[in-house]
Amino acid sequence: MYSYNITLLQISQTPRTVTARISSPIPTHLITGFLGVGKTTLIKHLLEHKPRNEKWAILVNEFGEIGIDGQLLSGPQDQQKGIFIKEVPGGCMCCTSGLPMQIALAMLISQSKPDRLFIEPTGLGHPNEVISELQKPHNREVIDLKAVMTMFDARKLVQPRYHDHHIFREQLEIADILVAAKADLYTEQDKVDMLHTLEKLGLQDKPRHFSVQGNLPVALLETRRNSAPANEEAHHHHHADAPATPAWQTQLEQDGCAYTQQTRSGFITEGWIYDKSHIFDFTQIFTLLNGINPERLKGVFITERGIFGFNKTDGILSCIELSESDDSRLEIIYPASSESGTDTDDKASSVWHSALDINKAIRTRLS
């Protein structure tokens, strides 16, 4: 784990107030699952059921350097409505992030003093480490970790490329509740195949739900965590010390636009960010994003028709109108190379080529 030896309350600016206000640990929900499975959509759905007098906080950890989920999640006047969102971009928050999970959590909790807390780790993160961090003695006084929900797409679960991937497996194994997401897209055969795969993986006895657009019963939030505490020695990895100000931010301030690329855990992430003086052509952006298929794509664009959030996974592009954004940003994630781990099939290689195409297309059309 990272080497910050501080507790949640010690780094808060007003520790006494926080201690006084947090009389009982905050019900906390960890929502894991692979890239693009529907975690943010589930949190959005749950937010619609927030009692008006409660404050709910969300910590979103993104694989890429530039956060996008915060913008896709947030709505107008969130804070007045009791919704507090904090992003931790730049890799798995328990390890490589420049703003470690502990600090982000402490800031979010001291600023919002939430009645409920949601944590969405990146789909390429290490949930076991996040759990062991949350269960450390100093966090236990503040955080009451409820049932861990792992979302998966039944159509992918059956593919060895996914169920043999160590991160995907870890996510399934730490689940208290399994959520078969995007059930609107399953055939009856997908459901039968899903059951067989769950049996093969020894996961058939875990409680299981289907979800469509994250429509799970809100009462599930009261489910307690059953699984054994995470193994603290789970696995330790190198913790890069990221600079306090990411290079892209400096570049953005200087040039009005910036580009960033990172390779981690066998995946490449590329991000583009433009300040709000750039007004994009909606049709051009839509055509561009429609034409390429990386493993995952997220974007927010200020266009002549308004501000739009784009989301693409499994070749399906969705677009929603947003009320506000300080800038335009795009992020794509794709397998680092056809030699990397299990990504040796044709699909991975076509994803790779299309990612190279998008890179060229974006460079020529956006810059």
Ligand X SMILES: Nc1nc2c(ncn2[C@@H]2O[C@H](COP(=O)(O)OP(=O)(O)O)[C@@H](O)[C@H]2O)c(=O)[nH]1
Token pair recorded at residue 106: 């402490």
Contact mark string toward Mg ion, 26..45, x via CB under 5 A: -------------xx-----
Contact mark string toward ligand X, 145..164, x via CB under 6 A: --------------------
Rounded to 5 degrees, what angle do the CA atoms 344, 128, 336 make? 25
Instruction: Please count the residues of this chain forming the interface with ligand X, following the rule CB under 6 A.
Output: 20
Question: What is the three-class DSSP state of 59?
Answer: strand
The answer to whether the beta carbons of residues 275 and 300 sit under 8 Å apart is: no
Q: Checking DSSP bridges between strand 177-180 and strand 149-152, what pairing results, if any?
A: parallel
Can residue 176 be called a binding residue for Mg ion (CB under 5 A)? no
Write out the DSSP string of 200-232. Answer: HTT-TTS-EEE-STT---GGGGGPBP-SPPP-T
Token pair recorded at residue 322: 């947003």
231 interacts with, out of ligand X, Mg ion, none, CB within 5 to 8 A per kind: none
Write out the DSSP string of 277-308. Answer: T--B-HHHHHHHHHT---SEEEEEEEETTEEE
Q: Rank residues 110 and 311 by Cβ distance to ligand X and give the closer one.
A: 311
Nearest distance from C-beta of residue 71 to Mg ion, angstroms: 11
Contact mark string toward Mg ion, 56..75, x via CB under 5 A: -------------x------
Instruction: Please count the residues of this chain forming the interface with Mg ion, following the rule CB under 5 A.
Output: 3
Token pair recorded at residue 166: 């160590």
Can residue 318 be called a binding residue for ligand X (CB under 6 A)? yes
Can residue 177 be called a binding residue for ligand X (CB under 6 A)? no
Residues that bind ligand X (CB under 6 A): 33, 35-41, 123, 181-182, 184-185, 211-214, 311, 313, 318
Residues that bind Mg ion (CB under 5 A): 39-40, 69
